[in-house]
Structure 1
Amino acid sequence: MRILILAAHPKSSQSIAQRALTAAAQAVHGVTCRDLYAIYPDFNVDAAAEQAILQAHDVIVLQHPFYWYSSPALVKEWLDIVLESGWAYGPGGNKMHGKSLLSAISTGGAESFYHAKGRNRFTVEELLAPFNQTAYLCGMAYLKPFVLYEGRKKKAADLAHEAQRFGQLLHDIAQDRLDLRQHLATGYVLPDSFKRRQA
Structure 2
Amino acid sequence: MKTLVLVGHPTIEESRMNKAWADRLEKEENVTVHHLYKEYPDMKIDVEREQHLLLAHDRVVFQFPFYWYSTPAILKEWQDQVLQYGWAYGSEGTKLHGKEFLVVTSTGGPAGAYQSGGYNHYSMSELLKPLQAMANLTGMTFLPAYAEQGVRMLSDDEVSISAEKVAAYVSDGDLKRGR
TM-score, structure 1 as length reference? 0.86
Q: Is 1:125 aligned to residue 134 of structure 2? A: no
Shift of 1:75: 0.5
CA shift digits 1:85-119 (9 cap, x unpaired): 00000021000000011010010110111110111
* Distance in 2 (alpha carbons) for counterparts of 1:126 and 1:28: 30
Partner of 1:77 in structure 2? 77
Identity of aligned residues (%): 39
Contact 1:70 / 1:128 at 8 angstroms: preserved in 2? yes
- Asked if the contact 1:8–1:72 (Cα under 8 Å) also holds between the matched residues in 2, the reply is yes
Q: Cα distance, 1:28 vs. partner?
A: 1.2
Q: Which amino acid aligns with 1:54?
A: L
Unaligned runs of 5+ in 2: none
Task: Give the match for residue 10 of structure 1.
Answer: 10
- Counterpart for residue 137 of structure 1: 137
Cα distance in 2, alignment partners of residues 171 and 96 from structure 1: 19
Please give the secondary structure, in 2, of the residue aligned with 1:9: coil
State the SS of the aligned residue for 2:169. Answer: helix
1:97–1:139 Cα contact (<8 Å) kept: yes
- Amino acid paired to 1:154: L
Alignment correspondent of 1:89:
89
Q: Which residue of 1 aligns with 2:170?
A: 170
In structure 1, what is the equivalent of residue 29 of structure 2? 29
Within 2, Cα distance between the matches of 1:141 and 1:34? 21
What is the aligned partner in structure 1 of residue 64 from structure 2? 64
Give me the whole-angstrom Cα distance separating, in 2, the residues matched to 1:153 and 1:36: 27
Corresponding residue of 2:45 = 45
Structure-2 separation of matches of 1:152 and 1:2: 31
Shift, 1:4, TM fit: 0.3
Equivalent residues, number: 177
Q: How does 1:156-167 map to 2 (within 5 A)?
A: 156-167=156-167
After superposition, the C-alpha distances for 1:59-97 in whole angstroms (9 at most, x for unaligned) are 000000000010100100000000000000002100000
**What is the Cα deviation at residue 18 of structure 1?**
0.6
Contact kept, 8 Å, 2:58 with 2:99, in 1: the verdict is yes
Instruction: Tell me the equivalent position of 1:150.
Output: 150
Letter paired with 1:84: Q
Mapping for residues 107-118 of structure 1, pairs under 5 Å = 107-118=107-118
- Contact 2:61 / 2:170 at 8 angstroms: preserved in 1? no
Shift of 1:164: 1.0
Residue 27 of structure 1: how far off its partner (Å): 1.6
